[in-house]
Structure 1
Amino acid sequence: MRNPHLDKVKGLLIFLVVLGHGLERFIGWINPNSALLAFIYSFHMPAFIFVSGLLFKNHKLFEKILFFAVLAVLFQILYFCFESFWQHTQNWLHWVIKPYWILWYLWGMVAWSLITPLLMKTHYPLLIAIFASLGIGLSPFNNYLFSIGRIFVFLPFFVAGALYGKSFLHCIQNTKYSLWITAASIIISITLLALLRPNPYWLYGSLSYQQLQVEAVHGVLTRLWLLIIASCGIIASLTYASKLPDILRSMGENTLAIYLLHGFFIIILTKLITFTSMNWMLNLAFCLFISILLCVILKARFLSRSIQYTAMHITQFLLKLMQYFYTRFL
């Protein structure tokens, strides 16, 4: 049975994902746009990952992991072909070792689904996840490869969602102080962001401290600061969701298609449209309009079901193939 409150949360977050990508591609990290982008990027994916952790179940774990891997490979190929159409030349190796733009989340789901059950067997799963999040930046290798940086940087949010998501959701759904909690969380988040003023690359979670050109202690403290900011954003988005418009509920029920398909439209529009106006509000209004339009179109249930149907059939085929080879040769 679906939770309307949770669907609204997912609807809000998927809209922020589309809006964030639109703002970044159309306008970029320029003032005053950078402040809005920084706020969105500080929590929208951590919150999305927290909700993913909340919905995580161990049941049929290998099948779920394979399903996300199939989706990732399938859309990696589709985006490769799509980009090749526009740019004509592409580096295959680059696409093998680096998940394309928005697809890192799918590989994250594969990794988090593998790691979280192991962490659950320990006494301090969330603490270990936080140490991993802070520690991955100390590694000497390129954290962007295979999205290894993002996987570990955002791991605490998935683990926190799996551990405490349901109880937290129950508490906020029954509180009388949702508006006050939301306001306080947003104020704290914005204040901490204003004090930190992070380089946008920090918000991606994809680079090591060495790549970000900071000392280890500086890197650990900055990343810890960002974990706190993201946590405030998660509290705000989950607490206030019930008061949001009902259209977000239908968007939240069909996030898969919106997430996987909006990138194609963003790419097309950025190739066809060049902003000449210096009016920031006009540019923002355009991005808002495009984001709303894409979400309304792509929330069509048949799109998500078609993607799920295709990926699930490939997954079932691979499972049968594995079973055949296992019984035949082992």
Structure 2
Amino acid sequence: MFPAASSLVPSLRSPQSQNDQHDQSRDRSAGRPSPRPAAKRDAFFDNAKYLAIVLVAMGHSWEPLKGDSRVLQAAYMLVYTFHMPAFIVISGFFSRSFDASPGRLKRLVTGVAVPYVVFESAYSLFKRVVDHDPQAAITLLDPYYLTWFLCALFIWRLTTPIWKMVRFPLPLALAMAMLASLTPNLGGDLDLQRVLQFLPYFVLGLCLRPEHFRMVRRRSVRIAAVPVFVFSLAFCWWAVPKMDTGWLYHRSSAQELGLPWWVGPAMQLALFGCSLLLTACFFSWVPGRTMWFTALGAGTLCGYLLHGFLIKTADYRGWFDHTAVHRPLGEIAVTVAVAAAVTLLCTEPVRRTFRFVMEPKMDWAFKRDAAELARERETREKQETREKQETGKKLETQRAKADA
């Protein structure tokens, strides 16, 4: 989900080591700007991102299997209620520093827009070749499968300065989501229904502070989360034949789901409350210490974008049609296999392999920032002045020695 890997979720800084301080003092003495200190990632957020991506992949694998099992349908409904909201809240929390400056806009383009263009095209070509579908067209206006999140994140990030400026950002975002749910003519371009209906979770992340995450990680909350999840799973089991799972995708209006217009806003409020409750319970169970999977949190963009090819290959080739995978042991085997696959896709070797797409260096495509050029020119002039002074001192010393 939760687009960029490291570019989407900045890290917290760590104290400088003695070597870093030595290097910085040496750079200052040489007239060069000091490098920024190495960043230290927060284990809690990396753990949360990894676990959320695993749930996303598991949910995608359950979709073609859930029709034969009411329990699996209930688990699917439960997971879809909170896994994307949790990831979007984290994305919003780490977007608080976005200020539309040239440097941040450049990272937004290279870390979100470019991967969207590449993978939107790749998934369309993949469908045309593997599924033998000549009608599969490449279009950047209609996000295919899971690329909608990159499109939405790009739009949300661009609007961040607005949400930081208005007085009541969350109520306003929630009102926009409610209005979208009763607007069937909104259209499918850029998946605007999802962009607007998921918007409150992103804005909520912008409004949160670190202490809010510490509050939900208290022991009392972790204990209370157990009965909440048990009750939620039982409720989902009861609601399977009664509720359209289309509400959980946040991509349709009430009229498109065959219901009166007023149901849309009501469902948006109800789902927002349920999703926040389950998201808080999910965060309460996320470990805050370094685990064996913590480092994988930096590779969630790879896991998110690449696991779709595995799911779609199985779908196009009819692997989900085998009777064995529709039995309880088969469903468990598929779940474990997909969780293992997305884990491998989040590893460092995969990140390095696809870095040219996920985190491309595109300095050639951007103009140099005027302020940066001025700083470099000022630094260069100071360096030249210092060198001239040192040269003059050396010449004076040499003359003094010669006269002596």
Q: What TM-score results when the alignment is normalised by the length of structure 1?
A: 0.88
- Correspondence for 1:10 among 26, 31, 49: 49
| Partners of 1:144 and 1:207 within 8 A in 2 | no
The 1:181–1:307 alpha-carbon spacing in structure 2 relative to 1, beyond 3 Å, is farther
Q: Is residue 2:377 matched to residue 1:313?
A: no
Let me know the Cα RMSD of the aligned residues: 2.7
Partner residue in 2 for 1:286: 333
Partner residue in 2 for 1:180: 223
The Cα shift of 1:252 comes to 1.8
Unaligned runs of 5+ in 1: 324-330
| Partners of 1:186 and 1:233 within 8 A in 2 | yes
The Cα shift of 1:283 comes to 2.8
The 1:116–1:13 alpha-carbon spacing in structure 2 relative to 1, beyond 3 Å, is same
Q: Is residue 2:306 matched to residue 1:261?
A: yes
Q: Is residue 2:185 matched to residue 1:135?
A: no
Q: Is residue 2:159 matched to residue 1:115?
A: yes
Amino acid at match of 1:154: F
Unaligned runs of 5+ in 2: 1-39, 371-404
The 1:82–1:165 alpha-carbon spacing in structure 2 relative to 1, beyond 3 Å, is farther
Q: Is residue 2:41 matched to residue 1:41?
A: no
Taking only the aligned residue pairs, the percentage that are identical comes to 23
| Partners of 1:261 and 1:298 within 8 A in 2 | yes
Q: Is residue 2:258 matched to residue 1:213?
A: yes
**SS, match of residue 324 in structure 2:** coil
Partner residue in 1 for 2:196: 152
The 1:5–1:92 alpha-carbon spacing in structure 2 relative to 1, beyond 3 Å, is same
Q: Is residue 2:350 matched to residue 1:303?
A: yes
The 1:138–1:42 alpha-carbon spacing in structure 2 relative to 1, beyond 3 Å, is same
Deviations 1:273-315 (A, max 9, x none): 1321385422321222222221232122132244344344364
The 1:31–1:151 alpha-carbon spacing in structure 2 relative to 1, beyond 3 Å, is same
The Cα shift of 1:180 comes to 1.9
Q: What TM-score results when the alignment is normalised by the length of structure 2?
A: 0.73
Deviations 1:36-73 (A, max 9, x none): 11111111111110111111131533223312111100
Q: Is residue 2:100 matched to residue 1:55?
A: no
Partner residue in 2 for 1:83: 127
The 1:245–1:32 alpha-carbon spacing in structure 2 relative to 1, beyond 3 Å, is farther
Deviates more, 1:205-214 or 1:159-168: 159-168
Between structure 1 and structure 2, the one with the greater Rg is 2
**SS, match of residue 252 in structure 2:** coil
The Cα shift of 1:106 comes to 0.3
The Cα shift of 1:139 comes to 1.8
Amino acid at match of 2:226: A
Partner residue in 2 for 1:327: none
The 1:94–1:202 alpha-carbon spacing in structure 2 relative to 1, beyond 3 Å, is farther
CA distance in 2, matches of 1:314, 1:43: 34
| Partners of 2:81 and 2:275 within 8 A in 1 | yes
Q: Which one has the bigger helix percentage? A: 1
Partner residue in 2 for 1:224: 269
The Cα shift of 1:212 comes to 1.4
The Cα shift of 1:148 comes to 0.4
- Correspondence for 1:237 among 282, 298, 301: 282
Deviates more, 1:105-114 or 1:247-256: 247-256
